[in-house]
Amino acid sequence: MSLQIEDGETWKSLRKKYNPGFAPQHLLSLLPVVIDKTYILMEKLDALARSGRAAELESFCTNVTFDIIGEVVTNIDCKAQDDAGQGDDIVRNFRLLAATYVGENGVSVGKNIARRSYADTCNSAEYSHLDELAPPY
């Protein structure tokens, strides 16, 4: 079920479940996580600037997005910005999934099986964490 495709009573029920997550008080409670993860990004960008190297910012932005959304939505430290590793399973599998879409012309053909496998793994990891956090309604 998705808020984007549902309507009527199903949509109302889903919307009611998600509303508390967007209450101003709740969003303010998430601010420390956003600030902490953003400081990590700023430190990395400062180090990059001091080095004088040119670099694409896409990976920096993707990693901070994983870290913020992972922590505030699933309460998982995705460790996407860590220099030591590849991050949590969700991050690793998302990167593998994303790589199936990139080829010489920007699109890979013939990787549907791998793509489906990585997508299923991402979904399983995400839903298992969400089930642990779901409040009783």
pLDDT higher than threshold 50 for residue 112: yes
pLDDT grade, residue 97 (50/70/90)?
confident
- Mean pLDDT of the 85-99 span: 81
Residues 110 and 123: their CA atoms lie apart, in Å, by: 21
pTM greater than 0.95 (yes/no): no
> CA angle, 132 as apex, 128 and 14 as ends, to 5°?
85
Residues 23 and 114: their CA atoms lie apart, in Å, by: 39
Distance of CA 93 to the CA centre of its chain: 11
pLDDT value at residue 104? 54
Residues 126 and 39: their CA atoms lie apart, in Å, by: 25
| Residue 81 near residue 41 (C-beta atoms within 8 A) | yes
